[in-house]
Chains A and B, each alone.
Chain A
Amino acid sequence: MSEAVYVPVPSPTATFEEHDAVLRVTSPQDGALELRVDEGFVFARYLSREPQHWISVSPASISAFFAQNSPVGTFLRRQGVSLLQQLLVDCSSLPGDTTVSQV
């Protein structure tokens, strides 16, 4: 399975826009980022970086959105994120200690 990306929790100055099933987060540090949930799994893409393809977000990263009570966590939950399922899939299909991206 392709490596999951760690997306930092947006800073308090970030702005959030919802477009249908996509959340666009814009912050001065990281530029624009989009997040979406497909089948309970979370994907992200940076609009300011190439290539702009969707890549899965690590469970540790998703946990951090919730832990810091970020609006991203609320958005993912309402879109049907299935974090525990994603954790099981990731830790079952990636080898050894690299199972889940570390914080």
Chain B
Amino acid sequence: MSLANQIAENGTMIIISDESTYKATLKDTLKIATQDLCCYVTFNKTCSSLGDFFKKNGVPLKNVKFIDAITRTIKDVESTQDCTYISSPESLTELAIVLKKHLEFPFKYLIFDSVTDLITYADVNNVKKFIKSISYQCGEAKCKLILIAVENSDNKAMIRTLGTFVDATITYQKNQ
């Protein structure tokens, strides 16, 4: 089944890639999600570099609002209409408050890039509770939750656990 069909069929999902397929996973997922209103949470790139990534890969920015958990750890920056900055990826309470506000807006997609980066910064048990809660909130808000995960030998078990909080676990395959 194609990635587009799998995303269409499920409400909440984790898409698993590895180092070699991560960029393609992100690009293909974004090409699908940005056709509608999309909220994109970054845990591994600054909002500015994401703009470059989108342009380079022909992904339109007009439907996307960003939540950036990285830039404020590096420099002082004010939130804009298109990007809300939070203080760090560890600040799950702050992120939860920002997401709650964003979910009042009719986003069709909420993307976490990547949930495996999030677990390297924040306490693992807190991340589990957080994802469980966000998954529920997305269901209530009729917003599709897409968790991007980059699998390696150290995080396989954690990804499996996170998979129990969502409707589907999708393993990305190129040309899906």
Q: Do A and B come from one complex?
A: no
Chain B interface residues (CB < 8 Å from chain A): none
Chain A interface residues (CB < 8 Å from chain B): none
